Structures are given as C-alpha cells and as structure tokens.
Amino acid sequence: MKKIKIITTGGTIAMGKDQQTGQIVPKLSGLDLLKQVPQLTKMADLELVQYANLDSSQLTAPMLLELAELVEEALLEEEIDGVLITHGTDTLEETAYLLDLVLDIKKPVVITGALRSFSQLNSDGAANLVQSIQTILNPQSKNKGVLAVINEEIHAARFLSKMHTNNLNAFSSLNCGPIGTIDHSGIHYSYDLPAQITIHPEELEERVEIIKLAIGSDDRLIQAALDYDCQGLVLEAFGLGTLPEKIIPGLTRAKKEGVPVVITSRSYEGRVYNLYGASGGNADIRDLDLIFAGSLTSTKARLLLMLLLGKNLSQTKIREYYLKLKS
C-alpha cells in the first residue's frame, strides 16, 4: 500500500456549523477529516500533519513558504509516494502556484478543498478527498507539478483560478481547461505540461501591491504605495495591457526609484504584451521598463514578483523570469 502524507491547513473543508451563531467556523482537525471519510484509510497508508486550521483568507505569504518546506521535507522521505494538502478555496490558487514555483516536484502533489462543509447539503469534501487520493495514486500524476483536484477535475496550478464565490464548479483553468478529469473509470489526462521554472527563495518580499485600473484611474494609488515604501507593483490593466495616460507620472516615479511594475490584465483570459504602446498609442511607454506578465493573473504575478524580489534580482533578471514562464 502506498504512503501519502496529508497536510491540513483549514478552510471550509474543515469547518462546521456553530450552533449559537449559525455561521460556518473552523471546527474539524485533520484527524476529524479522516473520520469523516473512512474510505481514505483503505486507499493508502496515510500520515497526517496539521499545519493550521484557518480560513484561507487568514494565511500569509511567509506561512506559504513554511508550508512549502513541509511539503519538500515530505517529498524527500523515500517512503512517501505523494502529498495531499487540504486548503480553503478562497486563496487555494495562490498557494498552489507558489508551491509550484518553489518546489522541484517529481512525486504527485495535490491540493484540494471544498465549497461546502461536511455539515451542509451537497457537501463536496468527501468526493474531493477521495478523488485527490486517486489522483496521487495514479502513475501519470508524477512530474506534473502541483495539481488541484476539485469537482471531478484536475487543474494545473499555473492555470487555476476561482471563478465563482461558492458554486461547486467554482474553479477553472484559464486559457486551456483542466489538465484532467475524474470519473468512475478513473483518471484521464488531456495534455502534458512543459516544465515549470523553479525558484529557490532565500526569503519573500511582502511589500508588493496590486492596483486594479478602471476608467478615469489616475496615479494616486501608485503614489500612495510608493510613499509607503512599496517594493513592487502589479497593475491590472485594460485588455492587452493598455494604461491610461493619467498614471504615467506614478510609473515614471516608480522607474526612478527602482520599483518594478508588472502589467497584467483585467480580462480573465489571454495574454498581455505591448502592442499599442501601452498608453494611448504612446510608444514612449517602453521607456518605463514595464514588465508584461503573459497570461498570469494579478495574484500569481504578485507571488512571482515577491519571490524574485526576495532574491534581490535586478529588474533585467526579473523580466527574464517572466519571459521564461510556461503558461
């Protein structure tokens, strides 16, 4: 029987109803989770580690690096065949992507959660846990980086996004669809992935902010971020990455102060690149050294920038990493 390490962090999958308030609150330990789904212990030899029991909105970037260390240690254990992480769905895509960037993964690593707690109707926790173990046990799940298993679908971390607040089919793989599906006949993968870049972080720079642009946006938020010693900025721009003229003074200051600015899009799918001179057809925008993030969402572009800044890389080197992305 294969051995799998389960690392629990909390989230809806580990929540239950508070009888006084009627709200869903953190309640189930990792051991409680296993008791909810006795089938799991018949599928594999399970070793449990409870890292946290938090709503995923309360996790921090340094905690994700600690989690990555736990996963890496588990993968180095010869007898461990794979790792399963349980997690809240609100920030699951960020944790999955950071792990995908910092771990050089050969063995299967799966992250899952639930949109419904075990005390709610249509609870999806049991099915997601069982299908996650099935995925880890499948030989084809090796060498695919971090995978997310939810609602009978397998998603690669680099494409994963939560698209609905609480539907059971809340998750999608942007631009390409899920890498695999799960049904009664087993695990079915649809495509292979090129190897992900791996970043071995010394530390992580937390002072990176996301600013979403809208009609009429000016540079006030950019200036405020720089006033508070922001070390990196991610802008959700329009379409392919176009920017309003009114933010140019803030971007000029960012360049002068050596603060990298990464451009993503408000659009959910597609890539960003400097087709229109980025600002009203003004080709001078190229002089601002903006970094275009390909198809990354703003939250993923931020995580990558936090890791790269933590390595004290130059803007030239940072730009090279974004160009290397296999997404």
- Span 121-166, pLDDT tens digits: 899 999 999 999 999 999 999 999 999 999 999 999 999 999 999 9
The band of 282, judged by pLDDT with boundaries at 50, 70 and 90, is: low
Question: Do 103 and 39 belong to one domain?
Answer: yes
| Residue 199 CB burial class (10 angstroms; 0-12, 13-18, ≥19) | middle
Out of 1-5, 12-16, 302-306, least confident range: 12-16
Asked if the model's pLDDT at residue 77 lies above 70, the reply is: yes
Q: Where is the domain boundary, 189, 218, 250?
A: 189
Q: What does the alpha-carbon distance between residue 37 and residue 86 come to, in Å, rounded to a whole number?
A: 14
Asked if the model's pLDDT at residue 326 lies above 60, the reply is: no
Residue 281 CA from chain centroid, whole number = 33
Q: Report the amino acid identity of residue 52.
A: A
The residue whose two tokens read 């002089």 is: 287
pLDDT given for residue 281 in this prediction: 46
Give every strand in the sheet of 146-150, ordered side by side. 45-54, 3-10, 82-86, 109-112, 146-150, 153-156, 180-183, 186-189
- CATH number of the domain bearing residue 316: 3.40.50.40
- 148 lies in some domain: yes
Q: How many distinct structural domains can be found in the chain?
A: 2
The 10s digit of each residue's pLDDT in 222-231 is: 999 999 999 9
Catalytic residue (choose from 8, 12, 95, 264): 12
- 309 lies in some domain: yes
Give the Cα-Cα-Cα angle 57, 81, 52 (nearest 5 degrees): 25
Strands 109-112 and 24-26: unpaired
Instruction: Determine the average pLDDT of the residues in 42-53.
Output: 96
- % residues pLDDT > 90 (the chain): 84
Question: Do 172 and 30 belong to one domain?
Answer: yes
Question: Do 25 and 93 belong to one domain?
Answer: yes
- 203 lies in some domain: no
- 202 lies in some domain: no
12 is catalytic: yes
**Which of 215, 64, 193 has the alpha carbon at shortest distance from 140?**
193
User: Which structural domain range is residue 35 located in?
Assistant: 3-189
- CATH number of the domain bearing residue 132: 3.40.50.1170
pLDDT given for residue 26 in this prediction: 85
Asked if the model's pLDDT at residue 283 lies above 60, the reply is: no
- Other CB atoms within 10 A of residue 175 CB: 15
- CB-based burial, 9-28: b 16+ in 10 Å, e otherwise: bbbbbbbbeeeeeeebebbb
Collapsed DSSP state (helix, strand, coil) of residue 70: helix
Question: Do 152 and 256 belong to one domain?
Answer: no
Q: Which helix (H) or strand (E) holds 161?
A: strand 160-162
Collapsed DSSP state (helix, strand, coil) of residue 108: coil
The 10s digit of each residue's pLDDT in 170-206 is: 999 999 999 999 999 999 999 998 888 899 887 899 9
Query: Residue length, the chain?
Result: 327
Q: Where is the domain boundary, 156, 189, 222?
A: 189
Collapsed DSSP state (helix, strand, coil) of residue 61: helix
pTM as predicted:
0.94
For residue 213, the number of C-alpha atoms closer than 13 Å in the C-beta half-sphere is 27
Question: Do 136 and 235 belong to one domain?
Answer: no
- 110 lies in some domain: yes
